[in-house]
Amino acid sequence: MKYIITTLVFIINFSFLAQTVLDSSMAHDGNIRTYKLYIPASYDGTEEVPLLLNLHGLGRTSDFQMSYGDFRAIADTANFIILLPQGTIRTVGGQTVSHWNANLGTFVKDLEFLSNLIDTISSQYAIDSERVFSTGMSNGGFMSLTLAGQLSDKITAVASVAGTMTLLQEGRNTVTKPVPVMQIHGDDDPTVSYSGAIFQQYKSVEDVVNLWVAHNNCTTNPIITPLQDVNTTDNCTAIRYDYFNGDNGAEVVHYKIIGGGHTWPGGYPRPGKVTNYDFDASTEIWKFFSRYKKSALLSIDEFVEGESWISIKSENPTSGPLKLISLNDKPYTISVINIEGKQVRNQQNNNGESVINLEGLSSGNYIVKLTNDSQVAIIKIIKK
């Protein structure tokens, strides 16, 4: 049963307009796992909205991450639900701390837990399965990159802040589709070294960036943009690296914080730690995520459902209109989706043959989705 927020107007009670933070739990692998949900006031259950996983760091809590890597004000405007799960306890250096098993060698089945949790939330709320994203701080960044590699059937794009990948993870990746990745990291991070750590078994930031650049088939020479040093008192600067032209529009973005520590850019100050204030990580992460939908990242072979019932009658690539014909007499709907996941054309067809006007669209790759009452076909086209 999906939860729908019903708007009731009372003269003296306007509490329904407030955002909602819910504490909940679910049983998994013999344990009770807890999580928080942030529901923006704009959510009413009548349309599907994105879901953002926001994962805390080692030794931290979902409460801490909600305020430190804060997306609440953005969710209020952009209308998405924030999911903040809680990790489990492990012993590190004689101390018991909360953690995510991002291929760290513990026995906690966090990958399965997060997969099941996404399913649970999606069954309760109107979640757009095309737009499920994950970000996190430190160990939460490690876990987000683990989801990119091992849960890409549910995760559209990820962003890691001050986290990388373990040396074991690359060999365990099952990902076949492109996955947009943002990597934010300080080059003077004393906790998760920018250059990696063989003893602690994790990759350098540059190795992680290069791995996803190669996986997404991006251009290896990035566009390098030094950010304006708008805050001259934060003792650090930032450089942005954009790796463009990835398969189906999947790009890799890296923010390198020169002199930056183990912190969330734009987050509240932490004593003794260098935080960059030349950009806001939460804002940039959401801007990056909002460009992508899962179907636009899939290849034709991965996304086609049902039998082949549509035939292309024009050239592909094409510089003119796209001509299609249905092999049955069922009416069907046509949607043209660009590499950012935005619908740029939509029309109905009732007689089998269709001509789709592509005039005014930029050159590049598009997905054409055709749906009748029982079948779906996906065609990947290139407009010259």
pLDDT band with cut points at 50, 70 and 90 for residue 343: confident
Check residue 118 and give its pLDDT: 98
Check residue 263 and give its pLDDT: 98
pLDDT in tens, 64-120: 999 999 999 999 999 999 999 999 998 766 778 999 999 998 899 999 999 999 999
Check residue 114 and give its pLDDT: 98
**51 or 381, which is more confident?**
51
pLDDT band with cut points at 50, 70 and 90 for residue 352: confident
Q: Do domains 15-295 and 300-383 have the same CATH topology?
A: no
Q: d(Cα 104, Cα 172) in Å, to the nearest integer?
A: 12
Q: What is the pTM assigned to this prediction?
A: 0.79
Reply yes or no on whether the pLDDT at 296 is more than 90.
Answer: no
Check residue 257 and give its pLDDT: 98
pLDDT band with cut points at 50, 70 and 90 for residue 378: confident
Burial (Cβ within 10 Å: 0-12, 13-18, ≥19) of residue 362: exposed
Amino acid symbol at 170: E
Check residue 286 and give its pLDDT: 98
Non-local (6+) Cβ contacts of 69 within 8 A are 54, 135, 136, 137, 140, 161, 264, 267, 281, 282
Could you tell me if 150 and 159 are in contact, meaning their C-beta atoms sit under 8 angstroms apart?
A: no
Instruction: Give the mean pLDDT of 121-135.
Output: 97
The CATH class that applies to domain 300-383 reads mainly beta
Reply yes or no on whether the pLDDT at 15 is more than 80.
Answer: no
Could you tell me if 173 and 181 are in contact, meaning their C-beta atoms sit under 8 angstroms apart?
A: no
Q: What percent of the chain has pLDDT over 90?
A: 68
Check residue 304 and give its pLDDT: 56
Chain centre distance of CA 87 = 19
Tally the C-alpha atoms within 13 A of residue 165's C-alpha that lie toward its C-beta.
Answer: 26
pLDDT in tens, 297-342: 876 556 555 456 787 888 888 888 988 888 887 888 888 887 666 7
Q: What percent of the chain has pLDDT over 70?
A: 91
Check residue 14 and give its pLDDT: 35
Q: d(Cα 111, Cα 163) in Å, to the nearest integer?
A: 17
Task: Break the chain into its structural domains and give their ranges.
Answer: 15-295, 300-383
Q: Spell out a b/e string for 347-357, using b for 16 or more CB atoms within 10 Å of the CB, else e.
A: eebeeeebebe
Check residue 338 and give its pLDDT: 76
Domain 15-295 has CATH 3.40.50.1820: yes
pLDDT band with cut points at 50, 70 and 90 for residue 16: very low
Handedness of CA 22, 28, 33, 36 (dihedral sign): negative
Could you tell me if 284 and 271 are in contact, meaning their C-beta atoms sit under 8 angstroms apart?
A: no
Return mean pLDDT, the chain. 89
Check residue 94 and give its pLDDT: 76
Check residue 331 and give its pLDDT: 85
Reply yes or no on whether the pLDDT at 3 is more than 70.
Answer: no
Q: d(Cα 124, Cα 1) in Å, to the nearest integer?
A: 6
pLDDT in tens, 200-250: 899 999 999 999 999 999 999 999 999 999 999 999 999 999 999 899 899
Q: d(Cα 22, Cα 18) in Å, to the nearest integer?
A: 13
